[in-house]
Amino acid sequence: MDRADEKVALEAAYRSFGQDLWRAVLAYSGGHGDVADEAVAEAFAQAAGRLRSIRDLRPWLYRAAFKIAAGELKRRSRSPGPLLEDGMRAVPGGDEEMIELMELVRTLSPAQRGSFVLRELLGFTTAETAELLGRSEVSVRVHLHAARKRLGVELEETAR
pLDDT over 60 at 83, yes or no: no
pLDDT value, residue 94: 54
pLDDT at site 84 = 43
pLDDT of 76: 82
Chain CA centroid to CA 51, Å: 21
**Range of weakest confidence among 29-43, 80-94, 145-159:** 80-94
Rounded (10°) CA dihedral 82, 66, 26, 106: -40
Q: Which pLDDT score, from 0 to 100, does residue 102 have?
A: 77
Domain annotation for the chain: domains and CATH numbers? 3-159 (1.20.140.160)
Instruction: Assign 137 to helix, strand or coil.
Output: helix
Q: Predicted confidence band at 155 (pLDDT cuts at 50, 70, 90)?
A: low
Least Cα distance to 27 among 87, 111, 77 occurs for: 87
